Amino acid sequence: MNLGVIYKNGRIVSHRSLLKVLLNPILRRFGFQIATLYFSEINKLGTIILTKCNKTKNFKFSFDYKVDNNEIRYCRRRLI
């Protein structure tokens, strides 16, 4: 399981945490999701927040997220 901050060309493109992987499929069933604030001006991640989203009917856990080796670097600094 690839967790942490995923960079491409020096910019953050994704953030995966165990908390988000496990809880977001359940929360999305009720119309909410855990998100991470991103400050593009300084290319930094902020705190996690609870936001509204479209409701889903099925649970889809994304344990098999693939990190493309084409200029992508991934760091495990942040688990939540």
pLDDT tens, residue by residue, 40-71: 899 898 888 999 998 888 777 666 666 666 65
In a domain, 47, yes or no: yes
Confidence (pLDDT) at 22: 86
Structure tokens, 61: 């856990």
Residue percentage of the chain with pLDDT more than 70: 71
In a domain, 75, yes or no: no
Lowest average pLDDT, out of 5-9, 23-27, 50-54, goes to: 5-9
User: Residue 32: pLDDT above 90?
Assistant: yes
Confidence (pLDDT) at 49: 92
How many domains does the chain fold into?
1
Q: What stretches of 1-80 adopt beta strand conformation (E)?
A: 4-8, 11-16, 32-39, 44-52, 72-75
Q: Which domain holds residue 51?
A: 1-55
